[in-house]
Amino acid sequence: MNILLTGGAGFIGAHTVVELLNAGHTPIILDNFCNAHPNVLTRIKMITGVLPKLYQGDVRDRELLKRIFNENKIDSVIHFAALKAVGESVAQPLRYYDNNVSGSLILLEEMQQAGVKSIVFSSSATVYGEPKTMPINENFPTGATTNPYGTSKHMMERIMMDMQRAQPDWSVIILRYFNPIGAHASGKIGEQPNGIPNNLLPYVTQVAAGKLKELSIFGNDYPTADGTGVRDYIHVVDLAQGHVQALNVKAREAGTHIYNLGTGKGYSVLDIVQTFERETGQRVPYVFKERRAGDIAECYADPQKAWRELNWQAKRQLPEMIRDAWHWQKNNPNGYENETFQAA
Ligand code: NAD
Ligand code: WQD
C-alpha cells in the first residue's frame, strides 16, 4: 500500500517508515520539521536502502495536501503530526488546538475530497484520564483529560468517530499508545527532544551521558510498590509494527477500530533507573521531588484486543528498550546533526 505519514519524520513516524518499508509498503512523508530533523531521511536510507519520498510542509496547508493526493495514489494515511508537550499545551492551548485539531480537520477534509477513506490516528493513553482500576481496556471511559494536549487527542477521537458514522465506508483506526521508548537497534534513529526532555527515558539517558546533572523523580509517595509512578513502557519498534499490522488487518475494513498499544506490564520510575544502571553500567544520580501536576500513580494497558484482532503483541522487554535507547544516545550525542541531508 502507498501510505502517507503526516509527522513521518518524528520519533514514532520514522520507526514506522522503516517497518512499512520492511513489510513491502511505500511510505510517503509529510513533515514540517517543527520537531524533527531532515537527516532522519538519510538515516532511514542507511537502515533500509530506501530514501523515502518527502513533502516538506504543514498538514494545515490545503494546497499542499491537494498536491500530495494528486501526485500519489494514497491508500491510507497515518496521522502522527501533532505537538505533544503536555506542559507547553497548558501554556499555549490555542497553538495546540490549532495544530492538533484544526490540522486534523483539514487533513480529513482533503482526504474526503481526494476519496482516501482510510486513516490511522495517533491517540494516547492520556484519553483515559485517571482510571479507577488497572489494566486499562478500550471500553474504559475517556475524556477526563487534564491538559489541552490530551483534550486535543480526545476531541479528534470523537470527531473521527462522528465522521465515520456519517461516512460508513471509511476505516478509522485509533491507536492509543502507552509510553513509547527505545530506538531502532541499528542506533541510527531515535528520540531527539528539543531542549530539556519532559519524558522520563530521554531525561535518564541525558543524565547518564553527563548532559544533565541528576534525575528528579516526581513523587515517592504514590500507592505503588516503591512509591514512584508506574507506566507501561513499549519499545518504539513494537509500536511501529503495531501500525503495520493494524493497516494490514483493518485498513480495508469499514468501521472505527480502537486499540491500546502497550505491553500490559507496569514499571516504576525506580525500576527504570535500576534497569538502566544494570543494562548500561552507567550511574543515574537522582533526587526525589514533589509529584508533578497532572500525573497519575499508575497506568498500564490491557493489550488483549490488539492481540486477538490484529495478531500483534509487543515482543521486546524492558532491558532491550533501555539498551536500544542508550545505544542511540551514545552513538548520537548530537542527535541527527552530523550529516547534511540530500534530497532524492
Ligand atoms: P514527534 O514530535 O517526534 O513527531 C511528530 C512529528 O510531526 C514531528 O516530526 C513534527 O515535526 C511533525 N509535525 C507536527 N506538527 C506538524 C504539522 N502541523 N505539519 C506537519 N508536520 C508536523 O512525536 P512522536 O513521539 O513521534 O509522536 C507522534 C504522534 O504520536 C503524535 O501525534 C503524538 O501526540 C502521539 N503520541 C506520542 C506519544 C509519545 O509519548 N511519544 C504517546 C502517545 C501519543
Ligand atoms: C513517566 C513517569 C513521571 C520525568 C506523557 C504524556 C502522555 C504521553 C506519554 C503523549 C511518570 C516520571 C518523568 C522526570 C520523573 N504522551 N518522571 N522524572 O507522564 O506517563 O506520559 O508521555 O501522548 O500524554 O503525559 O510520561 O515519561 O513524562 O513520565 O519522575 O524527569 O516518570 O512522574 O511517573 P507520562 P513521562
User: Which sequence positions are flagged as catalytic?
Assistant: 149
Ligand that lies nearest to the alpha carbon of residue 229, given by its number in the listed order: 2
Report pLDDT digits (tens) over 202-228. Answer: 999 999 999 999 999 999 999 999 999
CA of 217 to the centre of ligand 1 (A): 25
Structure confidence at residue 338 as a pLDDT band (50, 70, 90) = low
Which of these, 64, 53, 57, 58, lies nearest to 4 by C-alpha position? 53
Residue 179 Cβ inside 6 Å of ligand 2? The answer reads yes
Contact call for residues 343 and 203 (beta carbons, < 8 A):
no
The pLDDT score that the predictor gives to residue 194 is 87
Can you spell out the DSSP letters for 76-145? EEEE------HHHHHH-HHHHIIIIIIHHHHHHHHHHHHT--EEEEEEEGGGG-S-SSSSB-TTS-----
Contact call for residues 272 and 204 (beta carbons, < 8 A):
yes
Residue 32 Cβ inside 6 Å of ligand 1? The answer reads yes
Report pLDDT digits (tens) over 49-58. Answer: 999 999 999 9
CA of 231 to the centre of ligand 2 (A): 8
From residue 110, how far is each of 152, 185, 269 by CA, in Å?
20, 36, 42
Among 6, 34, 80, say which to mutate for ligand 1: greatest number of ligand atoms within 8 Å of CB: 80
pTM of the predicted model as reported, rounded to 2 decimal places? 0.98
φ, ψ of residue 35 to 5 degrees: the values are -140, 40
Residue 122 Cβ inside 6 Å of ligand 1? The answer reads yes
Q: Which atom of ligand 1 is nearest to the CA of 199?
A: 40
Residue 209 Cβ inside 6 Å of ligand 1? The answer reads no
Contact call for residues 176 and 185 (beta carbons, < 8 A):
no
Tell me which DSSP letter residue 239 carries: H
CA of 82 to the centre of ligand 1 (A): 4
Mean pLDDT of 69-96: 98
The pLDDT score that the predictor gives to residue 343 is 42
